[in-house]
Structure formats: C-alpha cells, structure tokens
Structure 1
C-alpha cells in the first residue's frame, strides 16, 4: 500500500515536471520556433499553448509586429577628423511571419543585431566619412534619417527578404564642447540676423502698407476729382443745351413774330391794293390840296388835277392869286370852286392878251 502511494506520488511529480517543461505559451504577435539538440526545426507555432519534449526541445518567440530597435551611442568620424556621437538611433521595422524560419535559420533569433544594429553603425560611418562637421551637424542633418532608411532597406531586400524598415529617427549628434559653443554662438548670431531680417521685412511691409494706403487715397481723390469734373462737364452741357433750347425758342418766337408781321403787312398791302382805287386816290389828292392855305393859278392850273402834270409855260406868267381861307364842306364843293377859279383865270389871261 505504501509502495503504491509512493509510485503514485512519483508519477504525479513526473507528470507535473513533464507538463511544466513541455507546455509553453506563444504570445499574440509572435511566432514560435523550436530547437532540438541545437538544430532549428522547421516547425513553427502560432500564438497559444503548445507542447514540446522537455529538456530536449527548446523554443524562441519571434516578434512579427512593428518593433523599434534602439541603437545607442554610435561613434562617427567626419571627413575633417572630428569625432562625434549619435546618442540614439531608432529603427522601426517589421518581420513577415512567412519569413521567420528563413530569417532565424540565416541570422539566428537575434537577427536584428546583425541586420540592423551593425548595419546602422556601418552606414553612419560611411556617411560621416564623406562629409564635414558642418554638413553632418547642420546642413545635411535632416537627410540622415532618410538616407539611412534607404541604405538599410536596400541591403535587407537582398540579404533578408521579408524584413522591412518603416522609419528611422536620428537624434542630434554630440560634438566636442568647444565646437558646440562656437556653433551656439554662430546660431545666436544667425538668430540675431534673422530677427534683423524679420524686423526689416516688417518695416518694409509697413512701408508697403503705407504706400498702398497712400495710393488708395490718391486714387480716391483722383476718382472724386474725376467725378466732379465729369459733373461740371455735364452741368456745362446741360447749360449749353438749355441755352440752345432758349435760342431755338427765341428764334422760333422771332420767326413767328416776323411771319405775323409779314402776314399783317401782306394782308395790309392786299387791303391797300383793294382800297387805293383811282377814285380813292383822286379823293385823297383833293383832300391834300384843300389843306393848303395858298393856291397858285395859271395856265397850267387845270392840269393840277391831271396825273403827271407838266411845267408852266414860259410865255405866260400867271399872277399869284391868294384865295381867302374858306373852309369847304366836302371835296365836291372844293373841286367845284377850283374849276370856277380856273375859268376866271382863263378869262383874265385873255383880257391881258
């Protein structure tokens, strides 16, 4: 009975140790690889619990997600002989799960030491050896990470397919203290220069703003003057048109007045033409003669009442006879009196002869 209990206890202990050393776990984001007697087995395992032969088989978990390898304190000698140190270089990379076996077989489970750490040292020293301190520390520093990434990926594509470099981050290198102080002084002077340039740009910008403002004001004044000038021109044109209209109205009034006068005179002439008959003219002649206070009688007296009277005869000189101022009632009585006077004058002339 005691032997059976001892055997059972020993069996339980053996099972515990076998289970403890054979059961293992692979974390998510990793692939398990196995060694037996130091040889890499082709068998790989995915995340989870797995069994292996204890004390004979061992395993390693290989990360197949993005990982960051930090390479610290990398020495680098420039072409001028100055030794500088890069404090930290970070390489972000990822391994394809299908390439785990080949990667471990060719470069062991610590493949990143060979393919990344050692390669970073090599590429940085290659870069520094062909550039001086000014270029490495200032001028070309922003290109180091991209150049390093390109160089690493170029070699990995040939040497280790399936390992990809996603990014490289390089910190500012450490330089000798004396050189660093000189660079700090130089940077301070550059900063002053930049400040002066920025101040100059601000002054130029203010001057440009003032110039544009003055230009805008001048354009505004010119526009106002132009508008006022055009307004005056429009006013003058309006006055000119008003004067022209007034002249046309005056001319029209004068023309109407002239036409009216012409029409009046024309109508008066037509009326006179109808009025001045021979009988009317004869009447007016008698009225004109009757208004004289003195009347001369002679041989030509009878012809006074004849149109186109002639000149008195040289042979006969008629005496001047003054008629008394006897008012005549009308033209017929005056005519009758003239005829009688003429007959009397003729008789007197015959007696003298």
Structure 2
C-alpha cells in the first residue's frame, strides 16, 4: 500500500511545482511588461536615462517603450512656472530696500537635454534665484528710493531685460517679471508720508489762491460791466426823454386828483400845468 501511495504524492508535488512556476513566470512577465513603457505627461518632455546616463533624444508627450530595469524616463516641465525671490538691496540714495519678485519662466523644449545634463532638476534654486537677486541689486542701485516707487514698471522692465539675457545661456525663457512689493524702512515711509502731506497742503493753498484770484477777477469784471451799463444808460437820457417822463408823472397825478386841494399838506403841493395839458 505504501508503494501505491507514494507515486500519487509525487504527481501532486510535480503539479504544484509546475503551477507555482507558471504563476511566477506570469508575474515576471507582468512586471517586465509594466516596466517596458513610460508615459510622458502633457506639458512635459521626456529624456531616456540608461544606467544614470541621459540620452539626448527628447520625447514628446505620450507613451514610449524602454528597456525594463535598465532604462527609465525622466520628465521635464515645459509649462510656464513661477519662481518667487526675496532680495535685500540699497537704492542710489542708500535707502535699504527689500524686494519681492515673481518670475514666470519656461524651459525650451529643444534644449531640455542640455539643461538637465548640465544643471539638473534643481535649476530654479541653482540658476534662477541667484540671478534674480544679483540683477535686482544691480538695478535697484541705479534709482532713488522714491523713483523705485514712481517708476516701478520701468524698473521691472530693466530687470526683465537683464534676466532674459542671463537665463538664455541656460535655455530658460523669461515670460514675465512682476515686482510684487517694495519694502522700505519705517523712517523712510514716515518721510514719504510727511512729504505727501506737505504737497497736499501746498496744492490746497495754490488752489485757494487761484480761487481767490478768479473771484477777484469776476468781481472786477462785474463792476466793469455795471459801470459800462450805467454809462450807456446815461447816454440814453435826453431832454426829450426827461420831458416825456415828467408828462407821464403829471398824467398819473391828474388821474388820481379829485379836483379838490388838500386842506392839510405835509409838504409842497406838486405843480400841475393845467393849461399846457388842456392845450395838448
């Protein structure tokens, strides 16, 4: 009986080993298959890396085959990226200035291999931030502190021009520069505020003086106009006009007279030339 049982056990053992081998092979095939391709995301380019060495062939977004366990694909972001830097500098009039600058930049797709091979993935901290700090200090030193505030767009344009030339050597494209904030000392801020108050007061005084001058001119013009009108009126008065006015007054008095002289008078009785009125 023992002789009959042993062959069955051997058969089962062989089957189990065969099944295990099949499963292991299948798992290995799946693992190899999953490591035989790589996907490059949209907005990126890919570079083959074989045993730590980069390949100059730039891969476009999509799926690409690679040698399993030997090659891998690194991705380089080519979209517009923002780098922010804080810089301390001094203006032309030796005022301390703290500047917060935001730089929008992107990587040149065709030159991604040169950038990654020569600089590496930390190019923002290795190249961009030091370049921004140096250029901001250089440009800030050319302007008075007040001009940095009043001509911020000009300062930003000058920084952008110098930074574009500097980063072009590393195949980095500067899209836009923004000076987020200029920060000065408290003493300088107080002096600026006092100057603005003085300017506002001077402007108010100037406006008041102009208003007074205008009002005076208006009064002079009004007086001249009244004098001219009075002069014209005097020129219009003629002996015939005076006589006509006298006749009108006498006619009105006659219309109101009842034919009786007043018994009590408080003043002179107006003289009425009845004869002349009758003749008329």
Which category describes the TM-score, using the shorter chain as reference length? 0.5 to 0.7
| Residue 85 in structure 1 maps to residue 85 in structure 2 | no
CA distance in structure 2 between the aligned counterparts of 1:34 and 1:72, rounded to whole angstroms: 32
Tell me which residue corresponds to 1:160: 170
The within-5 A match list for 1:306-321 is none
Tell me which residue corresponds to 1:60: 74
CA distance in structure 1 between the aligned counterparts of 2:134 and 2:161, rounded to whole angstroms: 14
Tell me which residue corresponds to 1:36: 50
Equivalent residue in structure 2 for 1:109, among 100, 121, 137: 121
CA distance in structure 1 between the aligned counterparts of 2:81 and 2:199, rounded to whole angstroms: 36
TM-score by length of 2: 0.60
The within-5 A match list for 1:94-173 is 94-136=106-148, 138-157=149-168, 159-161=169-171, 163-173=172-182
The answer (yes or no) to whether the contact 1:42–1:101 under 8 Å persists in 2 is yes
1:177-201 CA distances to partner (integer Å, 9 max, x unpaired)? 333233233334444555666x569
Cα offset, 1:132, TM superposition: 4.2
CA distance in structure 1 between the aligned counterparts of 2:203 and 2:131, rounded to whole angstroms: 39
Structure 1's unaligned 5+ residue stretches are 219-224, 226-353
1:81-135 CA distances to partner (integer Å, 9 max, x unpaired)? 5432213x12223333222223323332343434422211110111233444334
Structure 2's unaligned 5+ residue stretches are 1-14, 226-231, 233-280
CA distance in structure 1 between the aligned counterparts of 2:63 and 2:29, rounded to whole angstroms: 17
CA distance in structure 1 between the aligned counterparts of 2:61 and 2:174, rounded to whole angstroms: 24
CA distance in structure 1 between the aligned counterparts of 2:210 and 2:30, rounded to whole angstroms: 81
Greater share of residues in strand: 2
Cα RMSD, aligned residues only: 3.5
The answer (yes or no) to whether the contact 1:68–1:90 under 8 Å persists in 2 is no
The within-5 A match list for 1:271-286 is none
The answer (yes or no) to whether the contact 1:84–1:175 under 8 Å persists in 2 is yes
| Residue 187 in structure 1 maps to residue 196 in structure 2 | yes
The answer (yes or no) to whether the contact 2:160–2:174 under 8 Å persists in 1 is yes
1:214-252 CA distances to partner (integer Å, 9 max, x unpaired)? 89xx9xxxxxx9xxxxxxxxxxxxxxxxxxxxxxxxxxx
Give the 3 Å change call, closer, same or farther, for CA 61–182 of structure 1 in structure 2: same
Which stretches of structure 1, 4 residues or longer, exceed 6 Å deviation after superposition? none
The answer (yes or no) to whether the contact 1:78–1:131 under 8 Å persists in 2 is yes
User: Helix, strand or coil for the counterpart of 2:42?
Assistant: coil
CA distance in structure 2 between the aligned counterparts of 1:134 and 1:62, rounded to whole angstroms: 42
User: Helix, strand or coil for the counterpart of 1:85?
Assistant: strand
